[in-house]
Amino acid sequence: MKRRDFVKYGLIIAGVGGICGFALKKNGSEYSFEKVPADKVLDNLGPCRAPFENLEIQPEGKIYPCCPEHIYNHPEGFGNIITTDFKDIWNGPALNEIRQKVLNNDYSFCNRKICNYYPSSYTKNFDASKHGPKSVFIGYDQECNYRCKTCRDEIITNSDEELNILDNVVLPKVLSLLKDTEYVMFSGGDPLASRHMRKLIKAACEKNVKAKLSVCTTGYFFDEQNMKKMSVKKLKTLAISVNATTRETYNKIMRMDVFDKITDNLKFASEWKKQGKLEEFYLNFVVHSMNYKEMIDFVKMAEKLDAVANFWEYQPWPNAVMHKHYKEFAVFEPYHKDYPKFKEILHNPIFKSKHCLLNPLLQNIADSP
């Protein structure tokens, strides 16, 4: 495995809500995975690159260098794109303080045990003032036509006032930011269901921004008609949250009776991959007691679609009542009554397929005796 491949996959699987991370082990020109405790990953590879290369725009316009759940004591973020010019945030004292701590190997602000941003070391050029972020995660708009059981109990729709701010204040700033960015991930609620995000994606495509575009979606609007409406001709990455292989389970988790439509849209995405319009195609699967018995069939489905089944364990979201019953759904925890059955499933050799990714917690279970 070449280093570029390692870094690509490391961004996805290293430390995602689990109890271990992965470090590089070099043998000549080749690199391989070596498991290490998550809080040792950064020490192994050098300073985390997130504060120097990454930017996340979260709800209410709050700016973070990485996932806000992984950073201690910064509930308001490191600036706000609604009220502040982006350059003043990127070069401001709050982010610069974090960068200096990282260079001093001080991660006291960071929950490194659950970090899902894979770090890589640098040999030079830690001056972020000379460039903007290489990677931007856009997750500030929570509008979505779903109310998935693991995520939220009510459909979230922007008010006219909120939409006005998003379209007239935030959109121009984000478009300007994307001019010099290499990679952008549209996420949040569902960017293809959001009225604002559809405008932003269309504008980004029509202005031919430098960044490679990626989308995380339920897949409901990923079809030929909607791609044409948004002027989307190709994507770097498409991640579709499916979480099931049967209509019954899909309806129970996603709370939408549209399984046939999603199945058609997955085939459409697979055709895009064949045509070279899509570099990477992931099917997301959040594991819990309602769907774990379908994990094997999910990998088989991914294989047929030339996609990658991306598994990680359920993590509580405060917007969903389900989080109050975590122990009931956490089938991956040893105390759960179905844990032995779950463990037996993960021992199936299909989970070693190139069409499958297990996050570290699940991989540890799969590798256990």
Mean of pLDDT values over 197-202: 96
Q: What share of the chain is helix, strand, coil (3-state, %, to 5)?
A: 40, 15, 40
Task: Using alpha carbons, select from 332, 341, 335 the residue that is nearest to residue 364.
Answer: 332
Contact indicator for 299, 242 with CB cutoff of 8 Å: no
pLDDT of residue 112: 66
Residues with Cβ within 8 Å of residue 8, at least 6 apart in sequence: none
Mean of pLDDT values over 46-51: 78
Instruction: Report how far residue 60's alpha carbon sits from residue 306's, in angstroms, rounded to the nearest whole number.
Output: 37
Indicate if the pLDDT at residue 326 is higher than 80: yes
Mean of pLDDT values over 168-188: 91
Indicate if the pLDDT at residue 118 is higher than 60: no
Indicate if the pLDDT at residue 140 is higher than 70: yes
Task: Using alpha carbons, select from 111, 94, 126, 103 the residue that is nearest to residue 18.
Answer: 111
Burial of 327 (0-12, 13-18, 19+ CB in 10 A): exposed
E strand residue ranges, 212-341 = 212-217, 235-241, 278-287, 308-313
Average pLDDT, the chain: 84
Share of the chain above pLDDT 70, in %: 83
Let me know the angle formed at the C-alpha of 169 by 165 and 172, rounded to the nearest 5 degrees. Answer: 135
Residue with tokens 């929570």: 142
DSSP conformation class of 41: H
Share of the chain above pLDDT 90, in %: 62
Name the amino acid, one letter, at 77. G
304 versus 23: the higher-pLDDT residue is 304
State pTM to two decimals: 0.84
DSSP conformation class of 156: -
Mean of pLDDT values over 128-136: 84
> Residue 25's CB: how many other CB atoms inside 10 A?
13
Indicate if the pLDDT at residue 330 is higher than 50: yes
Name the amino acid, one letter, at 191. P
Which residues are paired to 215 by β-bridges? 186, 238
Contact indicator for 244, 291 with CB cutoff of 8 Å: yes
**Token duo for residue 314:** 């359920």
Indicate if the pLDDT at residue 74 is higher than 60: yes
